[in-house]
């Protein structure tokens, strides 16, 4: 399904071939994703658990994001709210508006299921641009503090590993009920 299209950019459902492209492209950037991760997301899409979106710029997959219909963990678990997961745009396509358009579509999709969407963002500096973007888009921290590997951290607890699983959760009201 195509969600957005203009003369250069198309945002559509992720396809099987995208998994290989993203695996190769992100590996070339120095990140080493496993193709199995993309395949698992595609299965979640076919099972109706998520909408996997791919941004295609001038015919080439440029970025992706997943909209899960309900959060499996974190502070929004069991709230029946969509959660935006794993938003990525290849470096060579960044700062071209592709990420913003991809987030626009993700929010539109989420808005079909609830009036509020949520997401978690990593706390290390490599997530700085995403942190700023989410705030500019109107996302606010949910107030539950820091989470690590799906578990809420408590005050004065030592979290030894600052990795992709150390998260702060945000939400955004998409429309009035």
Which residue segment(s) compose the domain that 134 sits in? 2-173
pTM for this model (two decimals): 0.93
Positive or negative CA dihedral for 127, 131, 136, 138?
positive
Residue 147's nearest CA partner among 125, 128, 132, 162 is: 162
Residue 177 pLDDT greater than 80, yes or no: no
Q: What 3-state DSSP class applies to 90?
A: coil
pLDDT score of 162 = 84
Q: DSSP letter for 25, please.
A: H
Q: Please give the average per-residue pLDDT across 12-26, as a whole number.
A: 97
Cα–Cα distance measured from residue 66 to residue 84, given in angstroms and rounded to the nearest whole number = 6
Residues 6+ apart with CB under 8 A from 53: 3, 11, 12, 13, 14, 64, 65, 66, 67, 102, 105, 106, 109
Q: Which two tokens stand for residue 58?
A: 């001038």
Q: What is the pLDDT of residues 35-93, one digit of tens each?
A: 999 999 999 999 999 999 999 999 999 999 999 999 988 899 989 999 999 999 999 99
Cα–Cα distance measured from residue 160 to residue 155, given in angstroms and rounded to the nearest whole number = 14
Q: What is the pLDDT of residues 121-169, one digit of tens each?
A: 999 898 998 999 999 999 999 999 999 998 999 999 887 788 888 999 9
CATH number at residue 137: 3.40.630.30
Residue 53's nearest CA partner among 28, 88, 26 is: 88
Cα–Cα distance measured from residue 59 to residue 41, given in angstroms and rounded to the nearest whole number = 22
Residues 6+ apart with CB under 8 A from 99: 55, 63, 87, 89, 133
Q: What is the number of domains present in the chain?
A: 1
Cα–Cα distance measured from residue 15 to residue 66, given in angstroms and rounded to the nearest whole number = 13
């Amino acid at each position: 399904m195509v969600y957005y299209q203009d003369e250069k950019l198309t945002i559509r459902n992720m396809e099987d071939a995208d998994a290989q492209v993203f695996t190769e492209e992100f590996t070339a950037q120095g990140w080493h994703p496993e193709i199995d991760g993309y395949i698992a997301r595609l299965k979640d899409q076919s099972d109706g658990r998520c909408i996997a979106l791919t941004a295609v710029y001038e015919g080439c997959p440029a970025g992706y994001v997943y909209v899960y219909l309900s959060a499996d963990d974190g502070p929004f678990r069991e709230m029946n709210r969509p959660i935006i997961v794993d938003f990525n745009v290849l470096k060579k396509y960044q700062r071209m508006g592709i990420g913003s358009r991809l987030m626009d579509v993700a929010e539109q999709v989420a808005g079909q299921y609830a009036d509020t969407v949520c997401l978690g963002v990593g706390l290390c500096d490599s997530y700085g641009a995403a942190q700023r973007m989410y705030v500019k888009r109107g996302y606010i921290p949910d107030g539950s503090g820091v989470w690590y590997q799906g578990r809420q951290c408590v005050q004065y607890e030592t979290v030894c590993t600052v990795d992709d699983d150390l998260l702060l959760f945000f939400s955004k009201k998409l429309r009035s009920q």
